[in-house]
């Protein structure tokens, strides 16, 4: 069974110069799409990937990452909507490129589908009451 997940990878400083993603893809037969990549001032690496492949291969790949010391977590945990601040105006819906923020035509409220979110952060500053919080 083919599965696909959006995950956040954190590389400690000691691993930043190693071809870990290359081995992940070649040795475990996985496909990837880079959604975001950055190196922090502390020289730690951060990579947001959409990773897909056979379930068995995916699980082995995740074990490999854990063994070499790369921390992983699902992407959705990093993008949060502060429900108390959101006014459901809808200014974000034309800014979000993946329709993770979408207006319900019946309730006229904005729904946040965090499984569609790629953490591009465009909504964060476009939101007038600043309800979107992205934590990496």
Q: How far is CA 48 from the centre of its chain?
A: 5
Question: In the complex with another protein, which residue's Cβ is closer, 26 or 109?
Answer: 109
Min. distance of Cβ 90 from another protein in angstroms?
A: 5
Q: Which helix (H) or strand (E) holds 133?
A: strand 132-134
Using CB under 8 A as the binding rule, whether residue 19 contacts another protein is answered as no
Cα–Cα dist 86/126, whole Å: 12
Q: What are the distances in angstroms from CA 74 to CA 49, 84, 96?
A: 10, 24, 20
What binding mask, one character per residue, do residues 72-111 give for another protein by CB under 8 A, x or -? ------------xx-xxxxxxxxx-------x-x-xxx--
Nearer to another protein, 2 or 134 (CB): 134
Residue 109 CB, shortest distance to another protein, in Å, is 5
Stretch touching another protein by CB under 8 A, among 32-40, 44-52, 111-119, 122-130: 122-130
Least distance between another protein and beta carbon 112 (Å): 14
Q: Is 56 in the site for another protein (CB under 8 A)?
A: no
Using CB under 8 A as the binding rule, whether residue 126 contacts another protein is answered as yes
Residue of 103, 119, 109, 102 whose CA lies nearest to 83: 109
How far apart, in Å, are the Cα atoms of 79 and each of 54, 102, 115? 27, 15, 10
Identify the three-state secondary structure at position 96. coil
* Residue whose C-alpha is closest to residue 7's, from 61, 44, 51: 51
Q: Which of 16, 128, 133, 134 binds another protein (CB under 8 A)?
A: 128
Residues that bind another protein (CB under 8 A): 84-85, 87-95, 103, 105, 107-109, 125-126, 128-130
């Amino acid at each position: 069974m083919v599965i696909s997940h959006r995950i956040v990878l954190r590389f400690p400083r000691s691993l930043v110069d190693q071809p870990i993603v290359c081995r992940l893809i070649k040795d475990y037969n996985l496909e990837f799409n880079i959604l975001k990549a950055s190196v922090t001032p502390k020289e730690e690496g951060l990579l947001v990937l959409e990773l897909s492949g056979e379930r068995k291969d995916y699980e082995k790949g995740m074990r490999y990452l854990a063994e070499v010391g790369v921390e992983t977590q699902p992407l959705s945990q990093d993008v949060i909507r502060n429900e108390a601040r959101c006014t459901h105006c809808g200014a974000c819906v034309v800014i979000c490129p993946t329709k993770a923020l979408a207006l319900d035509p019946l309730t006229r409220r904005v729904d946040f589908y965090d499984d569609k979110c790629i953490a591009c952060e465009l909504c964060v500053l476009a939101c007038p009451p600043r309800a979107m919080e992205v934590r990496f």
